[in-house]
Amino acid sequence: MKTARGPLRIAGMSAPPIYPARSTDLDRAWLEVDDDALRHNARVLRARAGVPLLVMIKANAYGLGAVDSARALGLPFADQDEGQNQDQAHVSAADRPWGAGIASLDEAEELRAAGCTARLVCSTPLRAEELARAAALDLRPTLHREADIAAWSALSPAGALRPWHLAIDTGMARAGVRWDGVTPLRRILAAHPPEGVFTHFHSADESLVSREQQDVRFDEALAALMDVLPAGCLTHRDNSGGIVSRTTGSPGQLARPGIALYAGMFADELGLRQVPHLRARIVDLRHVEAGESVSYGATWTAPSRRTIATLAAGYADGYRRHLSNAGVVLIHGTRCPVVGRVTMDMTMVDVTDRPCAVGDVATLLGADGHDLLSTEWVAARGGVSPYELLVGLALRVPVVRCTGLRQRA
């Protein structure tokens, strides 16, 4: 959120009109984040995994606001005893996440400063110089080097070991000890046991063969360490792709959904609901004649006399330039094609024979009426990753936290 007062909160967004009318904040473009949809998705993933969730809210909750998403998901905050954390009432005790995943100390600091008391696991390896700060933030690092494990243990108070998780690389080749190289860690693990052990899949939703291979490798590593791991050690392996690829639940004690929480992928397969909705107002209308072009590079030429609407959002607002001549927006629930190149601050769409006026609202991503432009669909239209599309949505637009947005049946 770009203003000091924090995200706007609007409940009952399904009541007509579906768009807020606070011109001081929403006179140009904004991003609505549907907290009900976020909670729904978490419930679906919890039920499918069959184990508690370690929800990934790294990268500012995939661009949708880490602190507010953590609250919406029912993670604990210091102010909840004072009745200020109203989102706790929307999440049953069984559905509350075990903890949250972040990727940097700055992300952890933002959550702690907001009063978040949840278990926080850092999925990115930390340098030795960062461990003291991690301890001060009550963070669970993911470690795999003997020297780092010893250094982390040295930061523990007398008689207690600060929790940490052992990262095992089973084929991602990004971080962690190789599955076939865990034996040298046995002695230090016996002396300084981890709270959890995990691996990360690289293609679980694309290739069952690859997931099964990584499953086997992880099981081999666990077997090699079985007698030095503590009783009750938490194992976790399923990311969103792992959860969706299984039909009998996730193995281990935790599952780690990320992109699926925000319905960036697997919405149709799992019945997930759209979380982000990017809106922009029409700020200009004009006619162009046959043969005239629109936007930079003259990449689109009118085949006949057309009416063009200019929307007050462009790639600086997260609507990717890749959607030039490919994107679609909703105006009064009707699809209108993007014409010409998406510019930094504005996007042009063809609204010929579609009644609209300056000030009307266009939906560039999300739901309007009975139609939906899902994150995955919009990303595919632009040939970009849903991950990239999500994390760039709130570059400068204000964020509105909503409940009860109408979703397509």
Helices (H) and strands (E) in the chain, counts: 13, 20
pLDDT class of 81 with cuts at 50, 70, 90: low
Under the banding of pLDDT at 50, 70 and 90, the label for residue 403 is confident
- C-beta atoms surrounding 19 within 10 Å: 17
Cis amide linkage into residue 17, ω under 30° from 0: yes
Percent of the chain topping pLDDT 70:
90
DSSP 117-134: -S-EEE-SPPPGGGHHHH
pLDDT classification of 405: cutoffs 50, 70, 90: low
Q: Which two tokens stand for residue 149?
A: 């494990």
| Token pair in block for residue 317 | 């607002």
Q: What's the mean pLDDT when you consider all of the chain?
A: 92
Using CA atoms, how far apart are residues 197 and 182, in angstroms rounded to an integer? 12
Pairing mode, strands 29-34 and 306-311: unpaired
Enumerate long-range contacts of 120-123, CB under 8 Å, 24 or more apart: 121/54, 121/165, 121/196, 123/56, 123/58
Q: Which H or E run contains 70?
A: helix 66-72
Going along the chain from its start, the domains and CATH numbers come out as 8-32+273-403 (2.40.37.10), 35-264 (3.20.20.10)
**Cβ atoms < 10 Å from Cβ of 17:** 8
CB–CB of 407/273 below 8 Å?
yes
Contacts within 8 Å (CB) and 24+ apart, 207-215: 208/245, 210/171, 211/241, 211/242, 211/245, 213/170, 213/171, 214/170, 214/171, 215/251
Residue with tokens 């009064």: 332
- Percent of the chain exceeding pLDDT 90 equals 85
Choose among 140, 231, 153: nearest CA to 191. 153
**Residue 212 above 80 pLDDT?**
yes
Q: What is the pLDDT of residues 92-124, one digit of tens each?
A: 998 999 999 999 999 999 999 999 999 999 999
Phi-psi region of 63 (alpha: psi -120 to 50; beta: other; left: phi over 0): left
pLDDT digits (tens, 9 = 90+) for 341-388: 999 999 999 999 999 999 999 999 999 999 999 999 999 999 999 999
Q: E-strand spans in 72-122?
A: 99-102, 120-122
Name the one residue in this structure whose structure tokens are 């000091």. Answer: 4
* Residue 208 DSSP code: H
Tokens in use for 17?
A: 């009109």
How far is C-alpha 22 from the geometric centre of its chain's CA atoms? 27
In which band, very low, low, confident or very high, does the pLDDT at 35 lie, cut at 50, 70 and 90?
A: very high
User: Cα–Cα–Cα angle for 95, 239, 30, nearest 5°?
Assistant: 75
Active site residues: 58, 296
Cβ–Cβ contacts within 10 Å for residue 124, how many? 16
